[in-house]
Structure 1
Amino acid sequence: MAKTNYPKNPTSKNSRTRPVLMEEEATAVVIMMIMI
């Protein structure tokens, strides 16, 4: 995951944090699919 360009800051809600959240959600969905 390329999280170097997007610093993870839960307090700041900039347009840069959205791609990270989407990537995290996508990875979480993939992990859940694999687990099930």
Structure 2
Amino acid sequence: MVFFRRSLQGKYIYFLASLPMKYFFLKNFILMFILITYLI
């Protein structure tokens, strides 16, 4: 049970670490989409 909790905490930390990267990628994707729709 302790090992499971530790692995879960590790996954949560990994998720928090990868969150800014995902947000940055999503923001760039949305900006590109807005630019393309604006040009067309």
Task: Report if TM-score (shorter chain) is over 0.5.
Answer: yes
Identity %: 4
Question: Greater Rg, structure 1 or structure 2?
Answer: 2
- List runs of 5+ in structure 2 lacking aligned partners: 1-10
- Alignment root-mean-square deviation, CA: 1.6
Q: Which has the higher contact order (CA 8 A, sep 6+)?
A: 1
TM-score when scaled to structure 1? Answer: 0.60
Bigger share in helix: 2
**Which blocks of at least 5 consecutive residues in structure 1 are unaligned?**
1-11
Which portions of structure 1, spanning 4 or more consecutive aligned residues, are displaced by more than 4 angstroms?
Answer: none
